[in-house]
Every structure is written in C-alpha cells, then in structure tokens.
Amino acid sequence: MHSFELNEKEEYNLSEWLKRHNRKCKLKKKNKVRSLTYCFTPTGIGLGIKVKCSCGKSIDITDIDSW
C-alpha cells in the first residue's frame, strides 16, 4: 500500500484554488454533493499532483521546486 502527502506549498496551492473555485463551482452553488479526486503521478524526477472537482474543473498543485 502506498501513501502520499502534500507538502506545505502544495497545501497552500490547493487552499488558494479552493477559495477561488468555491465561489464559482456549479455544484456548490446548487448545494449538490461534490467531491475532490487527488491524482498522484510518480515520475522519474518527482511526484505530480492534480486535484479535480466533481464539477470537472481541476488544478495541478505540484511543487516542482521540491524536485
């Protein structure tokens, strides 16, 4: 079993995106249930991290400075 964690910069990137996204998310505006999917992609130089809302919008929060 693998476990993945976000570092401080990735948590900050996600938090800032969610602040902006929550104001315009179609599902949140309609008080519908929504979820976030985290996609961790190991590469030869580091770990890529994408977060996708169930409304379809997504963001790459990868901290490439940590590579």
Q: Work out how many domains the chain is built from and give that number.
A: 1
User: For residue range 1-51, what is the model confidence (pLDDT) as tens digits?
Assistant: 788 999 999 999 999 999 999 999 998 878 888 899 999 999 999 999 999
In a domain, 47, yes or no: yes
- The reported pLDDT for the residue numbered 38 is 96
- Cα dihedral sign, 20-13-15-41: positive
Domain that holds residue 53: 8-66
In a domain, 62, yes or no: yes
Rg (C-alpha) for the chain, rounded Å, is 13
